[in-house]
Structure formats: structure tokens, C-alpha cells
Amino acid sequence: MELERLVEGLPILSIQGDIKRNITRVVYDSRRAVPGSLFVCIDGFKTDGHKFIQSALDNGATALIVQKDVPRYEGVTVIRVPNTRYALAHAADAFFGHPSGAFTLLGITGTKGKTTTTYMIKSILEKAGQTVGIIGTVANSIGSEKIPAQRTTPESLDLQEMFDRMKDKAANTVVMEVSSQGLKLNRVAACEFSIAVFTNFSQDHIGGNEHPDMEDYFHSKMLLFSMAKRGLVNADSPYAKRVMESSKCPILTYGIQNPADIRATNVVTHADRVEFYVETPWFSMPVEVSVPGTFSVYNALAAIGLAGMTGIPREHIAAGLKNIHIPGRAEVVPAPGRPWTVMIDYAHTPDSLENILSTVKSFAPGRLVSVFGCGGDRDRSKRPQMGQISGEIADFTIITSDNPRTEEPGAIIRDIEEGIKLTKGEYIVIEDRTEAIRYAMKNARSGDVIVLAGKGHETYQMFKDKTIHIDEREIVREILDELE
């Protein structure tokens, strides 16, 4: 494709060289450059792409997009722009022929509920006979084909390439978790969103290489509503009014407590499911969702709203929600013959931990045993909050490690202890996560529900000097074998 077409519409500060040359590939990693490539220099948190220009040229790149002053290179076109992240998204979208315009693109943002809502709407759409693409935290997929996910929102070039694959496989709808970082860093710039969803907003992703404060975090999420044709907002969120006031598209709402376009009434929670009656602009009907908890009702309402807005019949909606499995979200690990239950959940914020523990507490026949830790290099203020929440709700807490990253695990645990010591909750500390799970299971009593919170779908644990494999499903099964 001609370079001029790839940069058409970009704010360009200067051009050196031939703008008419043909481009064979767009890359932001110099190692992936081939003869005729356009290399876009991203100034990232850890590395600066401008330092790898010569490497890209050695591999055959003939054009560069930069945002810093660089030397002249003979026979190389250099285009300078204000923001190379935005330029990468723009060029990638053009290179792949604007693939997101070939299907219905649904974007879901919010602190919690993105993954569950994504899987719910996927289940509904597949009941309606659609081929569905998924881009999110757990995995990316096209129909039954799985593509491992490295981050919630891929880099813009990888995203557009994935969209192109989904277009080639005739995807009807693509459902995408849109992270605040993905929005802030222009990873989804140039995407054509049909509907944007706001699930909720609470403390998370503050500090380090993420957001400096809650206002920046909120503003980043709101960027999605300037890109979508229509919006769907949780009316029960304290931030709902701000979302609707700042949105540039028509909005529908969903909720339980406040007046909403899609509203649940008569909510009844069971140990293995939740039932409610839903009223919408298109239909009213009873609904059963095979994931317990009030938070599950909110996620289901978002999925129902998306389905209704895209014209999916009610029978497919009911069928899609009745039997659904979401990896790492209130996921019960089979323990045949055991009089207690082990549940895995991704809860890693104060709100999400409170949600899952409160839900389990409402139906647990015996003790609620909470096993959790907090991530390193993240907002420290939520650690004592989560300790206090577990101490107040759980009958017994085992404080352990999550992803310590560059921090010392013991220091993180001490922060958590500050909160749990404010309660009368009984607890112990077992730093090694596998050993913490083993202790919980070996000391379980009849009727106990053990909640392993924080890792969910993740199959790794990050330390300052290494990343190890850890899949809590595998650990539970191994310990069950030990107990035979």
C-alpha cells in the first residue's frame, strides 16, 4: 500500500523523502521489519522505539514515523507526527482496510464486569447463530479458535491485524473489553464501535505506569463514548450521570435500584444461579443466569441491553444466559466426594472482593474461607481496605501472595494486615500461594466454601526476578489427589 494513503488524515509536522513509496508491512518492533516496511517509533514506558531505527533499517524498513528529531537517512522517508501511538493506530487501520467497519463492534469498559459481560453476550449471540470474535482479558477468539491474550487491549497494530482475521472469518460481531490503558494509549484509535458499555467505576489501576489518579482513570474510560454510535450505561453507578453528561452518543441505561431502560426486578439469588425478571424497551421476561450474585445480575443486564440494541430475539437471550461458564469468575473447581467447595474468582479490588465474599457468605452452609493477596507495583491504599473487607465478611482469612512483581511479598502482606487487624476476623499468613491453598483445603470443614481470590483466569505469578506458572485449578486437583 502507498505510504501516502497510510498517513492520510494524520497531523503531520514534517516529511523527509518520498511519500509515494510502497509499504509492504507496518511494524513497531524493529525485529519484525522486512524490506519495504514502515517502522513506527513508539516511545514506551520501558523502551523507546527511536533507539531501534537502525535495527529496523538493517532489516529493510524504508519509511519511519517518529515523534522526535532523528538524523536524515539516505533513501528513507521520515514522517514526524505529534503522537506516534496515534499514528500507529491510524496507519494500521488503513493498512488492513478498516476491518472494524466490516462487523458490529461492541466495546465494554468499566472497572469490573467486563469479562463476564463479554462471555454472556458471546453466549447469547452464538445461540442466535452468529460467528463471534472476542478480545479480552482471558483470551482472544474467533468462533471456536482461541488466541492467547497478553493484555486486555492489544497494541493497535496487533488489534487491527486481529480484526482483519475476524473479518476474513466472517465474524458477525466482535465483543471487546476496552481497558482504560488501551484508550489512553490510543490502542483503539480508528476503531468503529457500534455500542459502548459502561459497567461501573471504582478504585483500580492507579500508580506507576498506569493512571496518576482516579480522574485520569475515569477520563480515559470516557474516551470510548466519544468513539461509539450508541451507549449503554449502568444507571446504579454513582458515575452514571457523569458518563451520560460527557457522552457524545445516544444512551440507554440498565440497573436494579434506579429507573432504567433495562431493569431487573424480583431478584432471587441461589447458591449456583440467580433469577430475576427483566423489563426492556423490546420485551419483558424471566431470566435465569448460571452465575450467582447480584453482580451477576448487572452483567446480565448489560448483555441483555447489548443483545436488545442489536436486535437479538428474547429466546436466544434467555438460552444464552441460562447455562454459561466464565473462566475464573465464581468458578467452582470440581471436588468429588468432598463436603466442601473451592471457588476461584478474579476479584482483586476492594469492590470485587466484597462482592464475591458477600455473595458466597449468603449461601455458604459452613464457613467462608478467604484466600487472597494484593498485586505489587500497584495502588497500596487498597491493600488495607481489602484486608478489612475479608476480616469483616469471611469467617477465616489466609493472606498470601498475588503478583508481587518488584515488591517484597512480605511488605505487601503487612499492608493487608493493617486492615484486617481493625476487625475481629481470624486470619493467618502463608506467603507461598500454593501452600496457602493446601492449608485451606487440608483444614476445610464440612460445608466450607473456600474462595481463592485474585488470580482467576491467570496461569502465572510475577516476582521481581522471575515469572512462574501457577494455575489454581491444577493446584486444587493436585491437592485433592494428596488427600485421597
For position 193, which CATH number holds? 3.40.1190.10
Instruction: State whether 91 and 103 are in the same domain.
Output: no
Q: Pinpoint the alpha helices (H) of 68-205.
A: 84-95, 114-127, 156-168, 180-184
Residues 171 and 294 in one domain: yes
Start-to-end Cα distance in the chain: 63
What does the block give as the cell for 471? 494455575
Q: What burial letters (b/e) apply to 289-312, b meaning 16+ CB within 10 Å?
A: bbbbbbbbbbbbbbbbbbbbbbeb
Q: Give residue 265's pLDDT.
A: 98
pLDDT (tens digit per residue) in 55-88: 999 999 999 999 999 999 999 999 999 999 999 9
User: What is the CATH number for 17?
Assistant: 3.40.1390.10
Mark residue 170 as left, alpha or beta (left: phi above 0; alpha: psi -120 to 50; beta: remaining).
left
| 196 and 271 part of one domain | yes
d(CA 484, CA 473): 17
Tens place of pLDDT per residue across the chain (484 aa): 999 999 999 999 999 999 999 999 999 999 999 999 999 999 987 889 999 999 999 999 999 999 999 999 999 999 999 999 999 999 999 999 999 999 999 999 988 889 999 999 999 999 999 999 999 887 899 988 888 666 678 999 999 999 999 999 999 999 999 988 889 899 999 999 999 999 988 655 455 566 557 788 888 888 999 999 999 999 999 999 999 998 989 999 999 999 999 999 999 988 889 999 999 999 999 999 999 889 999 999 999 999 999 999 999 999 999 989 888 988 999 999 999 999 999 999 998 999 999 999 998 999 999 999 999 998 899 999 999 999 999 999 999 999 999 999 999 999 999 999 999 999 999 999 999 999 999 999 999 999 999 999 899 999 999 999 999 999 999 999 999 8
Same structural domain for residues 46 and 104?
A: no
CA distance 477 to 484: 11
- The last residue of one of the domains, among 78, 95, 112, is 95
Give pLDDT tens digits for 112-160.
889 999 999 999 999 999 999 999 887 899 988 888 666 678 999 999 9
Q: How far apart are CA 106 and CA 173, in angstroms?
A: 7
Last residue of a domain, one of 287, 322, 357: 322
What values do phi and psi take at 61, rounded to 5? -60, 140
26/359 Cα distance (integer angstroms)? 48
pLDDT at 272: 84
The last residue of one of the domains, among 54, 76, 95, is: 95
Residue 61 belongs to domain spanning: 3-95
Say yes or no: 302 and 387 in one domain.
Answer: no
Number of domains in the chain: 3
Q: Catalogue the E-assigned strands of 337-415.
A: 341-345, 368-372, 396-399
Let me know whether 172 and 87 are in one domain: no
Q: Which helix (H) or strand (E) holds 456?
A: none
Which helix (H) or strand (E) covers residue 106, if one does? strand 104-109
Q: Are both 161 and 192 inside the same structural domain?
A: yes
